[in-house]
Amino acid sequence: MSRCRANWPTSGGTESSATTSTTPPGWPSPSPTTPAGVPPAAPGSLEGVEPLLTFGHGTAGRAELAPLLRGAGVRSVVDVRTAPGSRRNPDVHRDALAEWLPAEGVGYRWDKRLGGFRRAAPGSPDTFWRNDSFRGYAGHTRSPEFLDAMDELLREAGQARTAVMCSESVWWRCHRRLIADFAVLARGRPVLHLAHDGRLTEHPPTPGARLQEDGLLVYDGE
């Protein structure tokens, strides 16, 4: 199963490319509010810095994803699904992606270190998240494994236009949201979310995030 979202309170619980933005219980909605401890960026302060992109494949296959990535100028895809496969969408299986993406001129690699479905440690300080899966991933962002993987990802993004891929189409229902928070707040790298219609949306950091003196994020805001 390749779904990114966990404990998602829907009736079907299947992979979807829907673009609904309704916020369910336990999932704080995205907000442009500047998180605690992070000064607002000056307009244009990140100009000239190559952004990191993110997208979710949803139900789209090669026929839809290839032109989408081409239109966004993506040259490399980093797969951040814990289980890189799909029973219903063979085009997004890891082995298939490793074949057809390079054929489309796009590099591909899977990085399990950035995968979701993390368990929150007892006494987790990330009290902003009521969703257990997000709280667990918040703790993971402070691990050496995550930090090493992010450094590698951002180096790659600095060399070629790179997109992080998961299964969930809506970025704020996916752990890509926390990856984006870290890139923007802890590394000063702009992030753009690529929708299936080709729109690019600048990432608004989660308001409950706080950058600590050690350079790591904790989600203990309100």
Task: pLDDT tens for the chain, 222 residues: list them.
Answer: 445 654 433 223 333 333 334 444 344 555 444 444 433 333 333 567 899 999 999 999 999 999 999 999 999 999 999 999 998 999 999 999 999 999 999 999 999 999 999 999 999 999 999 999 999 999 999 999 999 999 999 999 999 999 999 999 999 999 999 999 999 999 999 999 999 999 999 999 999 999 999 999 999 987
Instruction: Output the CA–CA distances (angstroms, integers) from residue 42 to 38, 201, 210, 213, in the order listed.
Output: 12, 18, 18, 21
Distance CA 176, CA 171 (A): 6
Cα→Cα distances 183→64, 112, 141, 204, Å: 27, 18, 11, 11
- State the pLDDT at residue 138: 98
Q: Which fold has domain 52-219?
A: Protein-Tyrosine Phosphatase; Chain A (3.90.190)
Residue 154 token pair: 């951002």
Task: Say if CB 167 and CB 83 are below 8 A apart.
Answer: no
- List, in order, residues 6 or more apart from 102 with CB less than 8 Å away: 108
Q: Is the dihedral of CA 132, 135, 194, 98 positive or negative?
A: negative
Any idea where the domains of the chain sit in the sequence? 52-219
Q: Which two tokens stand for residue 58?
A: 């949803």
Contact 167, 157 (CB under 8 A): no
